[in-house]
Amino acid sequence: MLEGRHVLLGITGGIAAYKAAALASKLTQAGAQVKVVMTQHAKEFVTPLTFQALTRDRVYDDTFAEKDPEKVAHIDVADWADFILIAPATANIIGKAAGGLSDDMLSTVILAARCPVYIAPAMNVNMYEHPAVQENMKTLKQRGWHFIEPGDGYLACGWIGKGRMAEPEDITAFLQSTYQTASPFKGKKVLVTAGPTYEYSDPVRVFTNPSSGKMGFAAAAEAAALGAEVTLVTGPVQMETPPHVKRIDVTSAEEMYEAVMQYFPEADVVCKAAAVSDYRPAERHQEKRKKQTGPLSIEMERTKDILAALGEQKSHQLLIGFAAESTDVETYAKDKLERKNLDMVVANNISSDRAGFQTDTNEIMLLRRGESPFYLPLLTKTEAAKEIFAYATPLLKKDES
């Protein structure tokens, strides 16, 4: 059940770091996407090149190595992770995490992350049993961190006792058993739409909107991580296709309508996050229209209302609509839920700071039929996607019963 999971593997400076290479390999073989964060001391035992070769991804080892000017690396990788695994976890990183210290890439990522954290301690038995280390582990457990117990045996220092990092295959099996809880979405066919549409008036002029597609892509990635068979119909966006997702690229509202209608009959769940143009030029000129001295009027006509059509035609499908509003968000969301025969609405106020189009975060409201709205705080779009599918789960179960 690690298929498609985003695993952030933190490696610290202990002799057991050599085991982390086998662990990275086994996690990758299990279908997980693995990114590695190494401390400077970890690199004294194993080189970053080893993990780059095993994961086919860059290794993060410097908080200030900002290779992409559009992203803050330690925040970006923390948001990316479904969970963090620190193996080996030395007494030093356990102490820093318990004390909230952040003086390197790994400890900074830990503070920025909001996902589950798993710790595989590895150290001398006397260090492991030291009251300070035990107290730090107790603190982290109280915060909800999960510990993968070390084994007893002969340690690299010559002592015999508890402190051996769990074997890579055992850690992998532990994580697989943790995430093997049957998801109600496993095997379901989920259809997701994302991004804007382009409506051309001539070869160089287009009517569109600022949708980045980030929310729809996050929804597709989460559905795939839950074990669903995901088809993503997307307008023109510059985003990588999530793992294990079938992608259909379209341009116009008409093309999106045709693609959605093609896959809709077999879908179990539809998550319509695309920002489809409501209007298009009534006439598309084949040649570029030259500038005029005065005003220019372009007659517009309605495009097909995809969501309304789905609401009319649905049989067994769970239909989730999105409402991007600038005023009276709750009122318009309730109206959309009823008027378009939806099962659930995800609404957000696009006028709010750091929410809506072109952002990495959203502040959403979830609404199901006959229930009060459920407001969520500002979340990353990845986190929002998890909340959306969690909120939709009871509806899916009800549909199956």
Residue 185, burial from CB neighbour count under 10 angstroms (0-12, 13-18, 19+): buried
225-241 burial: b if 16+ Cβ within 10 Å, else e: bbbbbbbbbbbbbebee
- 65, 111, 157, 282: the catalytic one is 157
Cβ neighbourhood burial of 330 (10 Å; 0-12, 13-18, 19+): middle
CA–CA separation, 244 and 114 (whole Å) = 24
* Residue 323 bridge partners (DSSP): 347
Preceding peptide of 243 cis, ω within 30°:
no
> Are the C-beta atoms of 218 and 261 separated by less than 8 Å?
no
The edge-to-edge listing of strands for the beta sheet with 269-272 is 245-249, 229-234, 189-194, 269-272, 318-325, 344-349, 364-368, 374-375
Cα distance between residue 30 and residue 69, in whole Å: 32
Q: How many other CB atoms are there within 10 angstroms of residue 82's CB atom?
A: 20
Respond yes or no: is residue 115 known to be catalytic. Answer: no
Residue 135, φ and ψ in degrees, nearest 5: -65, -40
Active site residues: 157
